[in-house]
Amino acid sequence: MKRVDEQFIKLRQAGHGYKRIARTLNISIDDVKRTCSELDAARLSGQCKQCHTSITSIKGKKRKQFCSDRCRWDYWNSFNKS
């Protein structure tokens, strides 16, 4: 299955559509759609740099690094303490 995943990612990055990927890899279109949504979800999830809370970014926007302004403020001010 690892080989199929690598091929899937290469085809997706090349800009191929669901039908073409399904035909090339001999899998159903529904499997292609499901895999695409899983890959997108994995790319958009992460953890806050300060409190390590799970956060999800919005597709098409800059990836979130902090869960709140308070965590962002605490994180950056921790470097300025003397």
Q: With 70 as the cut, is the pLDDT of residue 15 above it?
A: yes
Tell me, what's the pLDDT at 48?
93
CA distance 37 to 21: 14
Reduced to 3 states (helix: H, G, I; strand: E, B; else coil), residue 32 is: helix
Tens digit of each residue's pLDDT (9 = 90 or more) over 24-62: 999 999 999 998 888 877 778 889 999 999 998 887 888
Q: Please indicate, yes or no, whether residues 6 and 29 belong to a single structural domain of this protein.
A: yes
Tell me, what's the pLDDT at 4?
60
Domain that holds residue 73: 48-77
| Residue 1's pLDDT band (cuts 50, 70, 90) | very low
CA distance 63 to 44: 7
Residue 46 dihedral angles phi and psi, to the nearest 5° = -170, -165
Q: Could you tell me if residue 9 is inside a domain? A: yes
| Statement: the pTM of the whole predicted model exceeds 0.75 | no
Q: Please indicate, yes or no, whether residues 52 and 72 belong to a single structural domain of this protein.
A: yes
Question: Number of structural domains, the chain?
Answer: 2
Tens digit of each residue's pLDDT (9 = 90 or more) over 72-81: 999 999 887 6
Structural tokens at position 39: 């890959």
3-state helix, strand, coil in the chain (%, to 5): 55, 5, 40
